[in-house]
Amino acid sequence: MQTPNLSLSVAGESALVARAKQESAGKTVELTGEQIKFYEEQGYLCLNALTSAEEVAEIKGLLEEMFAKKAGEKEGAFLDLVAADGKAQMSSPQIFNPNNYSSRLHKTQCFQNAYRVAKQLLGEEVRFFFDLSILKQPKIGAGTPWHQDEAYRDANFEYRELSIWVPLQDVTVESGCLRYIPGSNKGALKEHRSVNGDPKAHAVYVSEPFEEEKAVLCPMPAGGCVIHAPRTIHGSTRNESATPRLAYIMAFGLPPKPLKEKRVFSWAAEKQTAAAARNREWMRRGGAFVMLWRKLRRGELWSWELATYNAKRLLQKVGVRR
């Protein structure tokens, strides 16, 4: 999909040239009132530095080792972000919840700063939801299609969350930096469809018209981050550079609230991914207890609302109707 008249984020552009600002990494991140207002109005926010160069190297090493080992494959946590499973070469492999395979990820300044930023934007009651890592191989496959994160969630809940996307090397327009539609966070959730009409593909895309000409590109230095809301339309082009593009993403939020009126996501109902099948089988063979233990250990069931939400999601994963 070609995107005409893309504009370049001033914040992202300055981030690439203002490498001196990296010296602030490793310290507590405090958002200004202007930054908070920008996020609330535009649905995304670029920060030049979330962590240090040394910690970027450490996180990168941990994740690269996981990708080499295909961590979580039996659990359905290792998959191709865009294509269906089964291809000889994965263009965008993803690991869901890499913290399950290295607790060190949540002991970093990167995670602590991300948590602090989330609290500044959503309130002190915010909690960690999940993390993931995406590795975009160079010059193969497609980019991440335009989408809203809420389209991947349970249709029966209202989500008050945000995602924090951290590149582990400098990300340029050529290597597939993120792009956003400013202000789309204030609109409704749009219709989505499976990529190429294939229900076996993990990814979905916005299938109804939106103002694509308003897209803003956000190049970013290693250790910086882009924050976005669950309804902010975003995506990326494919990696046209000569090197892989590795990113670490953390999601934080308040307990999802059950909706009074039932919704149905047709794109979710049709999904038949191999990763979901592997996860379902793993859960039925005892993985459900492993998952609950992980969540309890990390304190993710801290409220009745969250415990109820996770219980419903668990039943859904093992194939029990609610």
Q: What is the pLDDT of residue 320?
A: 47
Q: What is the pLDDT of residue 307?
A: 65
Q: What is the pLDDT of residue 23?
A: 41
What is the model's pTM? 0.88
Half-sphere exposure of 121 (CA within 13 A, CB side): 31
* Residues comprising the chain, all counted: 322
The 10s digit of each residue's pLDDT in 71-127 is 999 999 999 988 766 555 788 999 999 999 999 999 999 999 999 999 999 999 999
Q: What is the pLDDT of residue 146?
A: 98
DSSP 171: B
In the predicted model, residues of the chain with pLDDT beneath 50 are 1-25, 320-322
Any long-range contacts for 239-242 (C-beta under 8 Å, 24+ apart)? 239/136, 239/137, 239/138, 239/139, 239/143, 239/175, 239/176, 240/138, 240/139, 240/174, 240/175, 240/176, 241/138, 241/139, 241/172, 241/174, 241/175, 241/176, 242/138, 242/139
**CATH class as words, domain 7-266:** mainly beta
